[in-house]
Amino acid sequence: MRKAQRERLSDLLPQISIDSLDTLTDPSALFDTPVNAVWLEVGFGGGEHLAAQAQANPDIGFIGCEPFINGVARLVRTVESADIRNIRVYAEDARRLIEALPTRSIERCFILFPDPWPKRRHHRRRIVSPDTLDELARVMADGGQLRLASDHRDYVRWMLFHTLQHGAFEWCARGPEDWRTRPSDWPPTRYEEKAAQRGETSIYLEFIRRARADK
């Protein structure tokens, strides 16, 4: 990383970074101006999707999680150049942040092209898991949307099986085009573009958080 990039990162990142999980008792309070809802992206990579969503939805507060500094630096550059005000960043394991979020505090969650950990002995590292889905079911509001995507066929089957098995989420698909075609309000990521260059087909899964029985 060049010196100028390091300086920009050191200047701007503290302003948009979530350093203490104690601040998550009210996620909407993380933002300088009032927001109508809070959306979460787990593993934003280079931040292309996160930045595009934030620009398209200025009334929404966005929390992005990404443990790799190069991806965080790329997003910070975009935030600075486009003057994006409604993004906050957690640069560690997303699972820790999700566990700290209040119940029913997230209206939409994105997990797009996560590491598939293809070897069987590494499957326990997959972010889409029964434990993570338990926590997402808790923190997501009734009717909230969970969006998953991957070009890795085994991981797609894994995500679909575990999310449907969980029971808190309803799959929105009514036909093959619903999982073969990226919705118009779903900006692409560079991982998706790389998959297309390799000739791989991406799959898009949308789920709705079912209404709780105690509502």
The domain that holds 153 is classified in CATH as 3.40.50.150
* Domain assignment of residue 95, yes or no: yes
pTM, to two decimals: 0.92
Identify the domain containing residue 82 by its residue range: 3-209
* Domain assignment of residue 215, yes or no: no
What would the pLDDT profile of 199-211 be if each residue is shown by its tens digit? Answer: 888 999 999 999 9
**Catalytic (active site) residue 115:** yes
* Domain assignment of residue 151, yes or no: yes
In our burial notation (b when 16+ CB lie closer than 10 A, e otherwise), range 110-147 reads bbbbbebbeeeeeeeebbbbeebbebbbbbbbeebbbb
Q: What is the CA radius of gyration of the chain?
A: 17
What would the pLDDT profile of 80-127 be if each residue is shown by its tens digit? Answer: 999 999 999 999 999 999 999 999 999 999 999 999 988 989 899 999
* Domain assignment of residue 181, yes or no: yes
What would the pLDDT profile of 28-48 be if each residue is shown by its tens digit? Answer: 999 999 999 999 999 999 999
Mean pLDDT for the stretch of residues 5-19: 76
Mean pLDDT of the chain: 92
Residue 188: per-residue pLDDT: 87
* Domain assignment of residue 214, yes or no: no
CA 104 to CA 81: how far, in whole Å?
Answer: 33
Choose, from 22, 115, 185, 214, the residue flagged as catalytic.
115
Residue 97: per-residue pLDDT: 97
Residue 170, H or E segment: strand 169-171
Q: In this structure, what token pair is assigned to residue 42? A: 């787990």
With a pLDDT cut of 90, the percent of the chain lying above it is: 75
Residue 195: per-residue pLDDT: 85
What would the pLDDT profile of 174-201 be if each residue is shown by its tens digit? Answer: 999 889 999 889 998 888 888 888 888 8
